[in-house]
Chain A
């Protein structure tokens, strides 16, 4: 099971604005409301929210809160992080290392470079170690053996070296320039 990630709007798995009563089951699961920096509201099951160590400790400190503000997280990476954590909950209940590995690989494969880079600070801020590992490895795999120019455009980094400085570095590390992949 994997949801579409191309849609820029919130997926149907998250509800907007005020909490809705759970009509599907007699015993409603507790929902937690997360608010992104761009004022989007996400309602997630408590078990998913507890995957976020930051949110978990927020609730432990102030249990009466109904909405958790995430002032440094925007909606898009947050929705992707929620998507990842929902799957991890299933693997927690039903451990299957092979399936988990497969899902993690698919999760990063279908993301754009920017999506991956944007999710890293979010996974770090929310302290989701598994996701951070998956993302770091995915980014490393994408830039491995690539050129300097490729990496700059990957991360959106401006070249702040002068031509002379860059030429000096190139001379100093000539061995590292051999056999680099075509962009």
Chain B
């Protein structure tokens, strides 16, 4: 078993009066892909967004419990959210490149972190694009707008942009839900490659995707963590009937 990277302890979250997460406790290991599955509105995306405090942006959110990353509580008052987010990259459901050139998209994060040396920036951009397996497709048009890329390329560019900040953890919120099967396969293969260097947490409502890419799977339902374990186990012999019903499509 690998070292634990993220731990949540009795993590609950409310949107106003509405409970979105109910006392979720998980341990997410380092350099593995952990997938969160469950029906829409089960709290899996909310959970993901607690890990980099993205929920802070939404008014009236109350969080209780703990989220420990490398043993440190990220909801501690002393934690600098901006620095935290540098450590935890995020890839969103809809590919969201900035209306800038491909180069500028990837260089955005490093520039914000104060890297202004042209040579250093170039190196980071090239490495990030290579790691995101999109270099060959864009190397001749780094100065073109990122918005001219296809959906799948845009999403890989967004992954490259995330990698450029050199995070330790990458959160992915349904990263392939808007893509065609070929692009999806590329993203999945990329995830598989990336886990060698990053801890990846992915939310998906595509169970097959969770099965294909993840080492561990957590099943969420109505804000509760129903079952968490090795993907192999969850998809062959789940312990809970609710999990079984969901993955076999007999839900509700």
Do A and B actually bind?
no
